[in-house]
Amino acid sequence: MNHFSVKTLLIVAALAAMILPANAKPKIASGSNCNSNWVNNSGAMACFIQGEEETRAGARHPHYVACAGGDIFCCQDNDSGAQNCIAQAKSGLPSRSMLAKALRAAQRARLKQ
């Protein structure tokens, strides 16, 4: 191989590396982006309870509440590390039974630690 062929091969390899998609996409929504208002969303509260139950059951990828741009999502990671999120519609305050259920789930999770 001559000098020109080696340079061409390196340039093509570098371009291919930049163009090919990465295996894991960056996570857009994050729990650290949420403020305390998410607890007032019944869909997010249901997601939180589901995630606590899945964690207790040993689920590989439990659901979790995440936020981005002021929106609240119920997310679950997949095996490749990407997020699958569903926006939670704004609704009224969660019921007392929903809050009690979330409190019990959080206490059970804390006791398991």
Domain ranges of the chain: 25-112
Q: Report the predicted TM-score, pTM, of the whole model to 2 decimal places.
A: 0.57
Task: Kindly list the distances between the CA atom of residue 4 and the CA atoms of 10, 14, 15, in Å, as whole numbers in the listed order.
Answer: 10, 15, 17
Q: For the chain, count helices (H), then strands (E).
A: 3, 3
Structure-block tokens of residue 26: 């960056």
Structure-block tokens of residue 22: 């990465």
Instruction: Give, for all 113 residues of the chain, the pLDDT tens digit.
Output: 555 454 544 454 444 444 444 444 456 788 888 888 888 888 999 999 999 999 999 999 999 999 887 789 999 999 988 899 998 854 456 677 777 777 787 777 777 65
Contact by Cβ (8 Å): 113, 106: no
Task: Kindly list the distances between the CA atom of residue 97 and the CA atoms of 19, 25, 45, in Å, as whole numbers in the listed order.
Answer: 51, 37, 11
